[in-house]
Amino acid sequence: MTSAPTRPRRALLALAVGSFGIGMTEFVVMGLLPEIARELLPAAWASSQEDAIAQAGWLITLYALGVVIGAPTIAASVAKYPRHRVMILLAAALTLFNALTLVLPTFELVAASRLLAGLPHGAYFGIGALVAADVMGPGNRAKGVAFVLTGLTVANVVGVPLGTFLGQNLGWRWAFVLVVAIFAAATAAIAVTVPRRAGEPSRTLRAELGVFRIGQVWFALGIGAIGFGGFFAVYTYVSPLVTEAAGSPAWVVPITLVILGIGMTVGNLVGGHLADVDLIRAMFGLLGLLALSLLLLALTSGWIVTVVIFVFAVAFAASAVSPTIQTRLMDVAGDNQSIAAALNHSALNTGNAMGAALGGAVIAAGFGFAAPVWVGFLLALAGLGIAALSVTLERRHARTPALV
CATH number, domain of 244, equals: 1.20.1250.20
49-58, 196-205, 239-248: the lowest-pLDDT one? 196-205
Contact between 211 and 329 under an 8 Å Cβ cutoff? The reply is no
Residue 2 lies in a domain: no
**pTM of this structure:** 0.72
pLDDT value of position 398? 60
| 149 inside domain | yes
What's the confidence (pLDDT) of residue 400? 46
So what's the pLDDT on residue 379? Answer: 92
Task: Please report whether residue 73 resides in a domain.
Answer: yes
Residue-level pLDDT at 349: 74
Q: Between the ranges 133-137, 147-151, 400-404, where is the mean pLDDT highest?
A: 147-151
Residues 6+ apart with CB under 8 A from 98: 21, 25, 113, 117, 176, 179, 180, 183
Average pLDDT, the chain: 82
pLDDT above 90 as % of the chain: 20
Q: Which residues constitute the domain of residue 205?
A: 7-397
pLDDT digit string, tens, across residues 323-373: 788 778 777 777 666 677 777 777 877 787 788 788 888 888 888 888 899
Q: Is the pLDDT score of 73 beyond 90?
A: no
Q: Provide the b/e sequence for 93-127 (b: ≥16 CB within 10 Å).
A: bbbbbbbbbbebeebeebbbbbbbbbbbbbbbbbb
Residue 403 forms part of a structural domain: no
pLDDT at residue 30 is higher than 70: yes
403: confidence class by pLDDT, cuts 50, 70, 90: very low
pLDDT reading at 262 higher than 80: yes
pLDDT, residue 2, reads 39
The predicted pLDDT at position 281 comes to 87
DSSP string covering 39-82 = HH-HHHHHH-HHHHHHHHTHHHHHHHHHHHHHHHHHHHHHTTS-
Say how many domains are in the chain: 1
Q: Which of 175-189, 211-225, 330-344 has the highest mean pLDDT?
A: 175-189
Give the CA distances from residue 89 to residues 19, 84, 123, in Å, rounded to whole numbers and listed in that order: 14, 9, 11
pLDDT, residue 6, reads: 52
Q: Which of 140 and 146 is assigned the larger pLDDT?
A: 146
Residue 127 pLDDT: 82
Average pLDDT, stretch 294-312? 91
99 pLDDT exceeds 90? yes
The DSSP element (H or E) to which 29 belongs, if any, is: helix 7-31
Report the share of the chain in percent with pLDDT over 70: 89
Structural domain contains residue 402: no
The residue ranges of DSSP E strands in 60-214, in sequence order, are none
Question: Is 235 inside a domain boundary?
Answer: yes
Give domain status of residue 404, yes or no.
no
* For residues 149-155, average pLDDT: 78
What average pLDDT does the segment 300-312 reach?
A: 91
* Domain annotation covers residue 308: yes
pLDDT tops 90 at residue 185: yes
One-letter identity of residue 225: A
Residue 404: what pLDDT? 41
Q: CB burial class (10 A; 0-12, 13-18, 19+) of residue 36?
A: buried
